[in-house]
Amino acid sequence: MNIIFNVVGYASFIIICIYFINKIIRGIIYKHLYNKNNKTNGEIIEGNCIKYNANPFANKAGDCAIRAICKIEGYSWHHAYNKLCKLGAENCLMPNDFNNIIKFFNNQKYHIYKPLQYISYRGFTNSELKGKFYLISDGHICACIDNKLYDSFNSNLNVIKYVISKSIIKDKRLKEINANEIFVKNQKFVHIDRK
């Protein structure tokens, strides 16, 4: 009986060691891939769309809200993620839940605008507006700075559902709305990133 317990104990120890060695090796590999993939940040994808991925491992992880916040606020990926996680925990929402992200902007005293007509991301960047904006479409959010989109893929054709800005926007195509108007319309569980 003691032999069986010893064998099980040694086997468990070996499995645990293999698990942690695997984690360490994967971390080294990911770090190498991150350094390699991050070199593509800043490349022009198409016209006004510039490749940007703040994710430390350059993952496509459904984290577009975090990437956009990193670009506009100047946060690290982990800092933006932790801010959304903390707010989500307070409101029992996932970090990338639509309502959680709107609460984040509302808490930061951002202005929220709804287009009065069809506007694509490209159409917005072709306007005279300069500054820092968050462009929200169905299932995606992107950073727009001085008529340039910063995204991990070409999102030019996305149709704007909301524009969020620290400053007041004077554009007849946009109407400022209250965040509560959005919460009522989006009570169901909706993620901001499906790309």
What are the domain boundaries of the chain?
1-39, 41-185
Closest CA to 65 of 36, 44, 31, 94: 94
Model confidence pLDDT, tens digit, residues 33-72: 444 444 557 777 888 899 999 888 887 778 999 999 999 9
Q: Using the predicted structure, report yes or no on whether residue 117 has a pLDDT greater than 90.
A: yes
- In this prediction, residue 43 carries a pLDDT of 79
Closest CA to 143 of 43, 78, 69: 69
pLDDT at 188 over 60: no
Average pLDDT over residues 134-145: 94
Predicted confidence (pLDDT) at residue 1 exceeds the cutoff of 50: yes
Could you tell me the pLDDT band of residue 83, with boundaries at 50, 70 and 90? very high
Amino acid 136: pLDDT? 95
Look at 97-101, 135-139, 160-164, 190-194 and tell me which has the smallest mean pLDDT.
190-194
Question: Is the pLDDT reported for residue 105 higher than 50?
Answer: yes
pLDDT the model gives residue 116? 94
Three-state SS string over the chain comes to: CHHHHHHHHHHHHHHHHHHHHHHHHHHHHHHHHHHHHHCCCCCEEECCEEECCCCCCCCCCCCHHHHHHHHHHCCCHHHHHHHHHHHHHHHCCCCCEHHHHHHHHHHCCCEEEEECCCCEHHHHHCCCCCCEEEEEECCEEEEEECCEEEECCCCCCCECCEEEECCCCCCCCEEEECHHHHHHHCCCCCECCCC
Q: Packing angle between helix 77-91 and helix 98-107, nearest 10 degrees?
A: 100
Of the candidate ranges 31-40, 100-109, 111-120, 129-138, the one whose mean pLDDT is the lowest: 31-40
Q: What pLDDT does residue 77 have?
A: 92
Between these two residues, 112 and 192, which has the higher pLDDT value?
Answer: 112
